[in-house]
Amino acid sequence: MVRVAVVDRELCKPDKCSLECIRFCPINRTGGKAIELGEDGKPVVYEDVCIGCGICVKKCPFNALSIVNLPDELEKMLIHRYGPNAFKLYGLPAPRQGAILGVIGKNGTGKTTALRILAGELKPNLGIFDREPSWDEIIKRFRGTEIQAYLQRLAEGKIRAAHKIQYVDLVPRRVKGTVGKLLERADQRGVSKEIAKFLGLDRLWDRDVRRLSGGELQKFLVAAVLSRDADIYLFDEPSSYLDVRERIKVARAIRRFAPKNAYVVVVEHDIAMLDYLSDYVVVMYGEPGVYGIASKPYGVRVGVNNFLKGYLPAENVRIRSEPIRFHVREAPATVTAGREKYLEWGELLVKRDGFVLRAEPGELQKGEVVGVLGPNGIGKTTFVRVLAGELEPQEGYVYKPREELKVSYKPQYVSPAMFEGKTVEQVLREANPAALAPGSWLYTELVRRLGLHRLLDRRADSLSGGEMQKLAVAAALAREADIYLLDEPSAYLDVEERLTVARAIRRIVETRGVAALVVEHDVAVQDYISDRVMVFTGTPGKEGHAHRPMGLREGMNMFLKELGITFRRDPETGRPRVNKEDSYLDRLQKRLGEYYYI
Ligand code: ADP
Ligand code: ADP
Ligand code: SF4
């Protein structure tokens, strides 16, 4: 076995502890030296001396140390390490010419690192720090593997990359100009106009990029990247900020406009989108922040299924202790007789600055999840805020049959002001002390799985946007309420965390018999959690129409019909899969009017 010791530079605070890791190490105590303070005042673990007992890991008050043992033969696949006691990446997802490679896996397992290596932005070091390994050495290490030919071309400088970065919000700070001017400048293939039109960006041609919404920025960047003349096109999370229609559109744009013989790699957490877009997939697994391994390539259906099942047969490794299965829920088409209503609303009219929302009367019943689906700017958030009592409707009412029913609300946008100087620990404790009790399911199944246990002493208002979202979702779910209103709980979450949150929602609703209303663009998550759905239609930014909650089948049918896409269910895992446009099933289901399975 090989020892991998990682010191998280951010979490480690040697001036705030008493160097327990160094003092309690059994090797150090018996005269050896497995761990000591390095030049920067933070501990260095000598992996060849350390026996991997894990005492330092347990003693560290900040969870800054990780020690794992990995099989020797894995070292042959080591492609990059950020430094001594830093993250290790094993293998690379191997792109294939003329095909789209989907990469799936939790965050912190090296997906971005892999993309940067493939793009030629980061030269891998094979874990060697005292000199720069030559390309010959790098290629030699991967001789006989699928990635060899690609590395060869990279070494010869024959790979030109176009890379859509993950954080689209950073762009307006880096570039200046209008959508049209910038797209024209990026255009090396004479296709930018056509792509812009396809993505609906033509309407925004003269708009300053600083005035684009998150979803518009995302589409703008996808268009810019596709307009470049490159050998490899890399898309890091192209679905963030987009609604379902836009996700499908972006997927189709990538398929249609990437040059036929190019390499294309997409990292994506929305499994329905990844599945629809990719020809084959690589699963990234490992321990976040410690090490990551790229799996062998799998066919897209099998790969996503293996990921959900939590087992990779070619590698013979288990990546999750329990499989994730989607259930076909035979939900009631409408209100169930005798079921208690937890929240009711009459016909609503809500006006906001030129936008009008009309809602059909409806109700949220005890023991159900109502999913909310619809495009961006159609009034979903407005509606949830009315239910939460934050906005007053101009007409209509919202009624709680019992005044004591408590509401827990996770707004769409989470701001630092929500947490006013509290630590992560305080926020969770105030939500529910059980969220911090080791052994409680809230702690093991929610807080730990979202990685919040590592951040307990951090100030909540200093967290990154993604971390803050996770905290807000965890706190909202931990609160003991009767009605849960969750506005986009999976935004910023990786695929594994989305499934964690989906499972937690089902568990709370089923065991405590509460009610939940969840706005969500990830169709697989929506399918997993919802008993009924509410569909929003209309003209984004102008007027929205909220239909009454309907049975999953009826509601999804209405929603998908508007989008012109059909779904089938995967027989093995039960997950929803988008039918390829114009395939046999797509045509058959459209003819039958059954957009959501037959
Ligand atoms: P993913 O895209 O799967 O979230 P990344 O490739 O971004 O993963 O990062 C994997 C790990 O590598 C991160 O957890 C981080 O701790 C570490 N890492 C990333 N960049 C650096 C860096 N420049 N120096 C040291 N560690 C880094
Ligand atoms: P969704 O959640 O479906 O994306 P929203 O409810 O956020 O939609 O927005 C619906 C419409 O209401 C949008 O056109 C938006 O511009 C408008 N709107 C949202 N918030 C405000 C506000 N604070 N003041 C005025 N108009 C708003
Ligand atoms: Fe020392 Fe054990 Fe930590 Fe290794 S794992 S550095 S031997 S305390």
Give the DSSP letter string of 562-576. Answer: HHT--EEE-TTT--E
**Cβ proximity of 227 and 221 under 8 Å:** no
Query: What percentage of the chain exceeds 70 in pLDDT?
Result: 98
Residue 525 in domain:
yes
What is the percentage of the chain residues whose pLDDT exceeds 90? Answer: 84
Q: Which ligand 3 atom lies nearest to the CA of residue 35?
A: 6
Instruction: Tell whether 209 and 281 lie within a shared domain.
Output: yes
Q: What is the ipTM of this complex?
A: 0.91
Is residue 557 one of the residues assigned to a domain? no
Residues 225 and 251 in one domain: yes
582 located within any domain: yes
pLDDT the model gives residue 336: 63
Residue 293 CA, ligand 1 centroid: distance in Å:
13
338 versus 340: the higher-pLDDT residue is 340
43 lies in some domain: yes
Look at residue 474 and tell me whether its pLDDT is greater than 90.
yes
pLDDT digits (tens, 9 = 90+) for 285-297: 999 999 999 999 9
Out of 301-305, 336-340, 402-406, 542-546, least confident range:
336-340
CATH assignment at residue 218 = 3.40.50.300
* Co-location of 60 and 109 in the same domain: no
**Do 262 and 166 sit in the same domain of this protein?**
yes
- Bridge partners of 7? 65
7 and 130 co-located in one domain: no
Q: Is 55 in the pocket of ligand 3 (CB under 6 A)?
A: yes
**Confidence check: pLDDT of 329 > 80:** no
pLDDT in tens, 147-189: 999 999 999 999 999 999 888 878 888 889 999 999 999 999 9
Note whether 523 and 429 are same-domain residues.
yes
Same domain, 368 and 407: yes
CB 43 within 8 A of CB 324: no
Residue 521: inside a domain, yes or no? yes
Is any ligand 3 atom within 6 A of the Cβ of residue 592?
no
Q: How many domains does the chain have?
A: 4
Q: How far is the CA of 346 from the centre of ligand 2 (A)?
A: 21
Do 63 and 118 share a domain, yes or no?
no
Q: Please give the sequence-ordered ranges of beta strands (E in DSSP) within 8-73, or none if there are none.
A: 35-37, 43-45, 65-70
88 and 51 share one domain? no
Model confidence band, residue 225 (pLDDT cutoffs 50, 70, 90): very high
Asked if residues 196 and 249 have their Cβ atoms less than 8 Å apart, the reply is: no
Is the minimum distance from the CB of 49 to ligand 3 under 6 angstroms? no
Largest CA distance in the chain: 78
Render pLDDT for 198-222 as a digit per residue (tens, 0 to 9): 999 999 999 999 988 888 999 999 9
Give yes or no for residue 535 CB within 6 A of ligand 2: no
pLDDT grade for 331, boundaries at 50, 70 and 90: low
How many angstroms does the Cα of residue 83 sit away from the middle of ligand 3?
Answer: 19
CATH of the domain at 25: 3.30.70.20
Query: Is the pLDDT at 333 greater than 80, yes or no?
Result: no
Take atom 22 of ligand 1 and give the residue whose Cα is closest: 82
In a domain, 578, yes or no: yes
335 has a pLDDT exceeding 70 = no
Tokens of residue 280, six digits: 């084959």
- Is 380 touching ligand 2 by the criterion CB < 6 Å? yes
Question: Residue 138 pLDDT > 80, yes or no?
Answer: yes
Residues 138, 123: Cα–Cα separation, whole Å: 10
Same structural domain for residues 307 and 399?
A: no
Q: Is 154 helix (H, G, I), strand (E, B) or coil?
A: helix
pLDDT tier, 415 (very low <50, low <70, confident <90, very high otherwise): confident
Distances (CA, A) of 10 to 60, 455, 456: 13, 10, 13
Roughly what angle, to the nearest 10 degrees, separates helices 214-227 and 179-186? 30
Range of the domain at 362: 341-550
Which of 222, 217, 261, 221 has its CA nearest to residue 100?
A: 261
Q: Residue 398 CA to chain centroid, in angstroms?
A: 33
What does DSSP say about strands 362-365 and 515-519: parallel, antiparallel, or unpaired?
Answer: unpaired
324 falls in which pLDDT band (50, 70, 90)? confident
Res. 334: pLDDT tops 60:
no
Kindly state whether residues 118 and 29 are assigned to the same domain: no
pLDDT tier at 332, thresholds 50, 70, 90: low
Residue 226 lies in a domain: yes
Instruction: Check if 286 has its Cβ closer than 6 Å to any atom of ligand 1.
Output: no
Cα–Cα distance, 110 to 92 (Å, whole number): 9
Q: Please tell me whether residue 272 adopts helix, strand or coil conformation.
A: helix
Give 478-489 pLDDT, tens digit per residue. 999 999 999 999
Q: Which of 70, 91, 111 is the last residue of a domain?
A: 70
* CB contact set of 478 (below 8 Å; sequence gap of 6+): 428, 431, 432, 434, 435, 442, 446, 447
Of 515, 574, 538, 576, which is closest to residue 371 (Cα–Cα)? 515
Q: Which atom of ligand 1 is nearest to the CA of 107?
A: 4
Q: What is the pLDDT of residues 347-373, one digit of tens each?
A: 999 999 889 999 999 999 999 999 999
Question: What pLDDT shows up at residue 52?
Answer: 92
The span from the CA of 592 to the CA of 290, in Å, is 50
Of the candidates 70, 101, 119, which is a domain's last residue?
70
Q: Which residues of 441-471 are buried (b: 16+ CB within 10 A; e: fewer)?
A: ebbeebbebbbbbbbbebbbbebeeebbbbb
- The Cα–Cα gap between 394 and 351 comes to 7
Task: Report the mean per-residue pLDDT for the chain.
Answer: 93
Ligand 3, atom 2: closest residue by C-alpha: 53
Q: Residue 582: which residues within 8 A CB-CB, separation 6 or more?
A: none
Least confident stretch, 12-16, 101-105, 463-467 = 463-467
Q: Residue 473 in contact with residue 413, Cβ under 8 Å?
A: no
**Residue to mutate (ligand 2; options 244, 349, 376, 381; most atoms within 8 A of CB):** 381
* Domain presence at residue 304: yes
Shared domain check, 22 and 144: no
Q: What pLDDT shows up at residue 549? A: 96
